Amino acid sequence: MNLDERINVQEVSYLDIALPNVKGEIIRLSDVAEGKVVLINFTAYQTEWSASLNIELRELYARYHEKGLEIYQASLDSDLHFWSNSAVNIPWITVIDPESVYSQSAALYAVKQLPALFLLDRKSNMVKRIEKIEHLEADIKPYI
């Protein structure tokens, strides 16, 4: 898949991303964003903080998914096998960028360090870059 197929710029306030899930299906951010509050998360499962972040995300997802929250988690892991084993039981959308740390998707979002989190409102407006994990629920709640 080339860069043009993975990134689709439309008249929205975010850059569309199209990456494969654990089944190899291409999942576009734009396909899940319409009418939902979307938390975009660039992450790496092989980091020491990944498990605690995913526990936090699991609690938020359980609490707010029925109210319109979706999570689009893009992994930058270099080990596809490790990622797929870790991601298989995650209830939200998890995709992987095969370019890993050279990810064009992450570069377009100006991701300098992981985790990086962004919030889209129900009208697909990029409303926030979430800086502190401990404020995650407070940052999301006004848009639910």
Domain ranges of the chain: 3-44+51-143
One-letter-per-residue 3-state SS of the chain: CCHHHHEECCCCCCCEEEEECCCCCEEEHHHHHCCCEEEEEEECCCCCCHHHHHHHHHHHHHHHHHHCEEEEEEECCCCHHHHHHHHCCCCCEEEECCCHHHCHHHHHCCCCCCCEEEEECCCCCEEEEECCHHHHHHHHHHHC
Kindly report the pTM of this predicted structure: 0.89
CATH class given for the domain over 3-44+51-143: alpha beta
Q: What is the pLDDT of residue 7?
A: 54
Q: What is the pLDDT of residue 61?
A: 98
Q: How confident is the model at residue 2 (pLDDT cuts 50, 70, 90)?
A: low
Residue 5 has pLDDT above 60, yes or no: no
Q: What is the pLDDT of residues 22-80, one digit of tens each?
A: 999 999 999 999 899 999 999 999 999 999 999 999 999 999 999 999 999 999 999 99
